[in-house]
Amino acid sequence: MTMSQNLTERYAASLMNTFGPPKLVLTRGEGAYVWDADGRRYLDLLGGIAVNALGHAHPALVAAVTEQLSTLGHVSNFFATVPQVALAERLLDLLEVGPGGGKVFFTNSGSEANEAALKLTRRTGRTHLVAAEGSFHGRTMGALALTSKAAYREPFEPLPGQVTFVPYGDADALAAAVTDETAAVVLEPVQGEAGVIIAPEGYLARAREITTAHGALLWFDEVQSGMGRTGEWMAHTGSGVTPDLVTLAKGLAGGIPVGACIGVGAAGELLQPGNHGTTFGGNPVAAAAALAVIETIEKDGLLENARLVGARLAEGLRHPHVTAIRQRGLLIGLDLDAEVAPQVAAAARERGFIINDCAPGRIRLAPPLVLTEAQADEVVAAWPGILEAGYAAGQPGGPS
C-alpha cells in the first residue's frame, strides 16, 4: 500500500464524507507545483479553487505570517490591530473609494462574508433579494439561500430569505424582478462555480441603474473573481460601476483564512454595534498575510502576468473537442462537446496536472497568479493527450 492509499483510507475512516474521496493526498508545494504523499509532482492549475494567488510557500507570505505570529497572533475584536486597520484601508483603496468612502467587516471565508452581507441587507428594512441562476455564494444557510444549484439547496430547504432567481446576464429579467420591496441584488461579475460565465457587456451597469431606481443595494460577490484573479483587482473594475456591497475571500490572503464584507458609502454604516460579530475574522495574522499578498501582486506585476499568461493559456487550449473558452485573466472556463469532464480531469492528474471539472461538460482553471508562460506551455503541450485519454475513458466500456 502506498502512502497516498494509506492516508486515503484513514481519511475515509475519520473525516465526514462531505467532499467524496480525495483525488490526491498532497504534502507540500512550491510556486505553482504541489507534490503528493508518494512524491509525485503536479502543476496546480486550480490553486485551491482560486485561493493560492501567490502559489505555494511564497517567501513573502511565509515571512509575513511568521513575523506577525511571532509578534501578535490573536486578540479579540474588543481591540484593534495595526494589520487589521491597514488591510481595511488597502481594500477601500482597491475599490477606489478610499478610507472614509466605505467600511469593512472581516470574516474567515467567502460564505461568512456573504452571510454578513445578507444580514446587512436586512438593515434596509426589506427582505426580498434577487440572485442569478447559476450563482454560487456559499453553503452556510444564508449564503445557500442565494445559491441557485438545486442539488445544493434542496436537501436543506426551507432556506432563509425571500429570494427570486433570474437568468444571469438578462437585464430585462432583472428589471422585472426588482421592486421597491427589494433589499438587494447579488451578482457575481464572473460566475466561477458555473464554469467562468462572464457578465455581458453593460449588464452590471444596468444592474446599477435598476437597483438605484428602486432604492435597492447592489452587491457584487467577488469571492472567487476578486483580488487580481481576472487581471484586475476586481472583476467589475472595468465596468465603471460602483456597487454598494462587495464580498471577498479566496485569493485575499493566498491561503490564510480571511474574507471581507465591504459596504460602500452609506451601506458601510448599516451594521452597528451588536448587529454582527466574529471571533477570528480579520485577526492580525490573516490581515498581515493579505497585506503581503497585495504588496506582492503589485511589486511583481501579477495583474499583468494574469492577463498575459491567461490569454496564452486559453489560446493554447483550443481543440476540436473544446466548443467554448471563457477567459478573464487566470480564470478560465472550457466547454467540452461531451460530458466527460471528470474523466478529462482524471487524465490530467495522471499526466501531472490538476484541473477542475466544475460540471459534467465543463473544465475550470484558476491557477496561481505566479504561473509562468513556460508552465502554461507545459499543459498546452499535454492537452491533446489529456483530452484523448479523457474521452477514451468516458466512452462506454472505456478505461476507468
Label residues 153-163 b or e (16+ Cβ within 10 Å = b).
Answer: beeeeeeebeb
Coil, strand or helix at 269:
helix
Per the annotation, the verdict on 156 as an active-site residue is no
Amino acid 399: pLDDT: 65
**Which residues is 103 bridged to in the sheet?**
263
Contact 170, 136 (CB under 8 A): no
For the beta carbon of residue 62, count every other beta carbon within 10 angstroms.
13
Is residue 2 annotated as involved in ligand binding?
no
Residue 400 has pLDDT above 70, yes or no: no
Q: What angle do CA 216, 201, 372 make, to 5 degrees?
A: 110
Is residue 212 annotated as involved in ligand binding?
no
User: Rounded to an integer, what distance in angstroms lies between the CA atom of residue 245 and that of residue 268?
Assistant: 8
**Which residues is 325 bridged to in the sheet?**
334
User: Rounded to an integer, what distance in angstroms lies between the CA atom of residue 371 and that of residue 306?
Assistant: 8
Q: State how far Cα 353 lies from the chain centre.
A: 20
Question: Cα-flanking dihedrals φ and ψ of residue 118, to 5°?
Answer: -65, -45
Strand order, beta sheet including 356-359: 322-328, 331-336, 362-365, 356-359
Residue 398 has pLDDT above 80, yes or no: no
Grid coordinates given for 95? 475599490
Amino acid 214: pLDDT: 98
Q: How far is CA 16 from CA 19, 100, 390, in A?
A: 8, 44, 29
| pLDDT tens digits for range 313-368 | 999 999 999 999 999 999 999 999 999 999 999 999 999 999 999 999 999 999 99
Is residue 237 annotated as involved in ligand binding?
no
Q: Which of 36, 103, 250, 357 is catalytic?
A: 250
| pLDDT tens digits for range 246-293 | 999 999 999 999 999 999 999 999 999 999 999 999 999 999 999 999
Beta strands 217-221; 245-248: pairing state: parallel
Sign of CA dihedral 169, 172, 176, 179: positive
The strand ranges marked E within 299-361 are 322-328, 331-336, 353-354, 356-359
Is residue 278 annotated as involved in ligand binding?
yes
Amino acid at 320: P
CA neighbor of 81 nearest in space, from 285, 228, 322: 285
Is residue 188 annotated as involved in ligand binding?
no
Q: Which of 36, 221, 244, 357 is catalytic?
A: 221
Grid coordinates given for 112? 461568512
First to last CA, the chain: 20
Amino acid 79: pLDDT: 97
| pLDDT tens digits for range 187-236 | 999 999 999 999 999 999 999 999 999 999 999 999 999 999 999 999 99
Q: What angle do CA 370, 114, 129 make, to 5 degrees?
A: 130
CA neighbor of 255 nearest in space, from 29, 81, 83, 67: 29
Is residue 139 annotated as involved in ligand binding?
yes
Reported as a pLDDT band with limits 50, 70 and 90, residue 396 is: confident
Looking at the chain, the number of H-run helices and the number of E-run strands are: 13, 17
The DSSP symbol for 39 reads S
The residue-averaged pLDDT of 135-153 equals 96
Per the annotation, the verdict on 23 as an active-site residue is no
Domains observed in the chain: 3-57+301-394 (3.90.1150.10), 72-300 (3.40.640.10)
User: Rounded to an integer, what distance in angstroms lies between the CA atom of residue 141 and that of residue 138?
Assistant: 8
The residue-averaged pLDDT of 372-380 equals 98
Per the annotation, the verdict on 221 as an active-site residue is yes
Amino acid 161: pLDDT: 84
The residue-averaged pLDDT of 27-31 equals 98
Average pLDDT, the chain: 97
Reported as a pLDDT band with limits 50, 70 and 90, residue 395 is: confident
| pLDDT tens digits for range 127-138 | 999 999 999 999
Is residue 222 annotated as involved in ligand binding?
yes
Contact 86, 289 (CB under 8 A): no
Amino acid 141: pLDDT: 96
Q: State how far Cα 269 lies from the chain centre.
A: 26
Largest CA distance in the chain: 64
Q: Which of 136, 220, 244, 357 is catalytic?
A: 136
CA neighbor of 330 nearest in space, from 215, 183, 228, 220: 228
